[in-house]
Structure 1
């Protein structure tokens, strides 16, 4: 079964391009453009990772990340931004973001980060299963 990725980015061209590249790489990818749609899709699609733009118009990626954590949703989030904003990066990491990557995206680096995140998530899942068996 392929890993599920949700892309939330209001840049439609980037959103579509990233969707195509990651789909070709074997991921099950869903994209949304509006921040308001992100929450519903996280619940319905249940992605393994969310690729989340920092600036989405009506709300920020940090707002979405904060709401996820407030609701005890631990879905891994990788924040994407065109702006090198140290304060936002620090806040994102404090909220539990996996990483903070800058546009233009280095697709090879992004795939390495996705794989690293998926591997960590799988290890955590196996740890919990083994712990429950004891």
Structure 2
């Protein structure tokens, strides 16, 4: 009986060894496939992040351009308002200067002196 058991075990040893080798190879193959899939995932994720960064950068640039445009509009308005105020102050003093020029007996309307006095300092 014991010799039969030993003989059966010895015969099964080669079969067990080949099954273990096959399982080790299958495990190594599964590991390689998982690593390759992980690398593909990381490349897809990197591409997604890069695309998101481009989208975010474009959005930020659009916001900056919009803000700059608004600032330029305000700046142009201030310039126009300043010019209008300057023109208004000159226009409001012109009648006073004309009256002063007319009151001055030695400066006649239409003369160079009249125009100098009207133009002011």
Q: Under TM normalisation by the shorter chain, which class is it? A: under 0.3
Q: Larger relative contact order (C-alpha < 8 A, sep ≥ 6)?
A: 1
Structure having the larger proportion of residues in strand: 1
TM-score by length of 2: 0.24
Q: Which has the larger radius of gyration?
A: 2
TM-score by length of 1: 0.22
Structure having the larger proportion of residues in helix: 2
